[in-house]
Amino acid sequence: MEKPTLENLTEDLGFACLSGKTWLSRTPQSAYVSDLLSDVMGKARNGMIWVTSQVHKNIVAVASLKELSAIVIVNERPIEKELLEQAEREEVVVLASNLPAFETVGKLYNYLDGRC
The pLDDT tens digits of the residues spanning 43-68 come to 999 999 999 999 999 999 999 999 99
Low-confidence ranges of the chain (pLDDT < 70): 1, 115-116
Give the list of residues 6+ apart from residue 88 with CB closer than 8 angstroms, or none. 19, 20
Domain ranges of the chain: 6-112
Give the list of residues 6+ apart from residue 91 with CB closer than 8 angstroms, or none. 20, 22, 23, 64
pLDDT tens digits, one per residue of 38-49: 999 999 999 999
**In CATH, which of 1.10.10.10, 3.40.1160.10, 3.40.1390.20, 2.60.120.10 is domain 6-112?**
3.40.1390.20
